[in-house]
């Protein structure tokens, strides 16, 4: 079995390390031919790609579809799949599996966003930097005993719930089905989302981007919210309607939001090579609002990035042994 490791550009340095390559080879076993993209000679790349059985890496560019003649499984590093061409996998009977190794990191980051907006840390920090000690301008709210609503109840939401449990919160969630292993979480279906929204003090959006989740939260949903609601978005930007969210914040129909996922991204992200610069994350001026915390889609990034290789490599091993992998993407549901 031939396995090709082809990382995204920003991870090339990490995957060039010999200790990382050694771990990959060790976990995948001596009976698997592990090939790293950076080690392939330019003139051999087409032939190598023709022959691989498994790809570990990001989305395949559509211009390269014809090269993957023997591909049977594609294991991604990440969870999001909105840029993938699902017909390619359907038409060629290729198993596509995503990864949830970032879930703990993203949940932790979302938890930090929740505390930051609830305690008004940034606005109060700015006040004191100006020499202003008026603690009544941006009062904090307590999180103990509040009702927290998860939009989507997958790995990130479950990790987030674990972090919130010491606060004695009430947990509710909106998901596709009522099936849930956590008995202390009250489940609502998508058709019942307004009922759930009316109960929430805090809304944590963990929804992936699929054809069914675009604008999942729109004007009607904001009208159903309490004026004290806080929204944390670590799912995908367009699952919450852009204009409706901006207007709700601007007009103070909700208390605030902390957002890591957006509507407009630069072609090249960050650093001196960012293009264009500046690049605002929306056509609406969120950056001028005081009741929003904004970060640049970086919840996944931490010192723990890619340190736990076993989950998705063991998933590849399942496939190699003829077992059914986990995290197989439903190509019709796109998740």
What CATH code is carried by the domain that includes residue 88?
3.40.50.720
What letter does residue 323 receive in the DSSP assignment?
P
Domain assignment of residue 331, yes or no: no
Taking the model in full, what pTM does it have? Answer: 0.88
282: nearest Cα among 269, 301, 266? 266
Domain assignment of residue 327, yes or no: no
37, 87: one domain: yes
242, 124: one domain: yes
97, 129: one domain: no
3-state class (DSSP) for residue 43: helix
Domain assignment of residue 177, yes or no: yes
Domain assignment of residue 300, yes or no: no
Task: Compute φ and ψ for 259, nearest 5 degrees.
Answer: -125, 130
Q: Retrieve residue 167's tokens.
A: 């606060």
The full length of the chain comes to 335
- Tens of each residue's pLDDT in the chain, 335 residues: 999 999 877 677 777 888 888 888 999 988 899 999 989 998 999 999 999 999 999 999 999 999 999 999 999 988 888 889 999 999 999 999 998 878 899 999 999 999 999 999 999 999 999 999 999 999 999 999 999 999 999 999 999 999 999 999 999 999 999 999 999 999 999 999 999 999 999 999 999 999 899 999 999 999 999 999 999 999 999 999 999 999 999 999 999 999 999 999 998 887 788 899 999 999 999 999 999 999 999 988 887 766 667 788 899 999 999 999 999 999 988 88
pLDDT given for residue 203 in this prediction: 98
How many structural domains is the chain composed of?
2
206: phi > 0 → left, psi -120 to 50 → alpha, else beta; which? Answer: alpha
90, 115: one domain: no
Cα separation, 306 vs 253, in Å, equals 40
CA atoms within 13 A on the CB side of 97: 25
pLDDT given for residue 86 in this prediction: 94
Cα separation, 27 vs 315, in Å, equals 11
The dihedral of CA 276, 281, 285, 286: what is its sign?
negative
What letter does residue 328 receive in the DSSP assignment?
B
Structural domain of residue 188, as residue ranges? 103-294
């Amino acid at each position: 079995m031939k396995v090709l490791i082809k990382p995204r550009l920003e991870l090339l340095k990490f995957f060039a390390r010999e200790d990382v390559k050694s771990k990959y080879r060790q976990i995948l076993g001596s009976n698997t031919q592990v090939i790293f993209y950076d080690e392939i000679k330019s003139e051999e790349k087409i032939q190598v790609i023709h022959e691989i059985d498994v790809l570990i890496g990001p989305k395949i560019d559509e211009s390269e579809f014809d090269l993957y003649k023997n591909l049977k499984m594609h294991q991604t590093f990440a969870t999001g799949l909105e840029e993938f061409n699902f017909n390619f996998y359907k038409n060629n009977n290729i198993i596509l599996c995503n990864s949830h190794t970032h879930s703990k990191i993203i949940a932790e980051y979302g938890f930090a966003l929740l505390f930051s907006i609830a305690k008004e840390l940034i606005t109060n920090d700015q006040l004191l930097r100006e020499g202003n000690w008026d603690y009544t301008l941006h009062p904090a709210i307590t999180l103990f005993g509040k009702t927290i609503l998860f939009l989507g109840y997958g790995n990130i939401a479950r990790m987030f719930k674990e972090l919130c449990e010491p606060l004695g919160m009430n947990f509710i969630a909106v998901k596709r089905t009522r099936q849930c292993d956590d008995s202390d979480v009250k489940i609502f279906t998508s058709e019942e989302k307004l009922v759930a929204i009316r109960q929430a003090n805090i809304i944590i959006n963990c929804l992936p981007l699929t054809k069914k989740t675009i604008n999942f939260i729109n004007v009607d949903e904001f009208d159903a919210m309490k004026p004290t609601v806080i929204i944390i978005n670590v799912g995908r930007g367009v699952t919450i309607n852009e204009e409706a969210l901006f207007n709700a914040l601007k007009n103070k129909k909700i208390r605030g939001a902390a957002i890591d996922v957006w509507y407009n991204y630069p072609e090249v992200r960050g650093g001196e090579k960012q293009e264009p610069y500046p690049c605002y994350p929306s056509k609406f001026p969120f950056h001028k609002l005081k009741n929003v915390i904004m970060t640049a889609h970086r919840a996944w990034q931490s010192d723990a990035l890619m340190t736990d290789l076993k989950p998705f490599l063991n998933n590849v091993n399942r496939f190699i042994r003829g077992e059914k992998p986990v995290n197989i993407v439903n190509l019709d549901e796109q998740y």
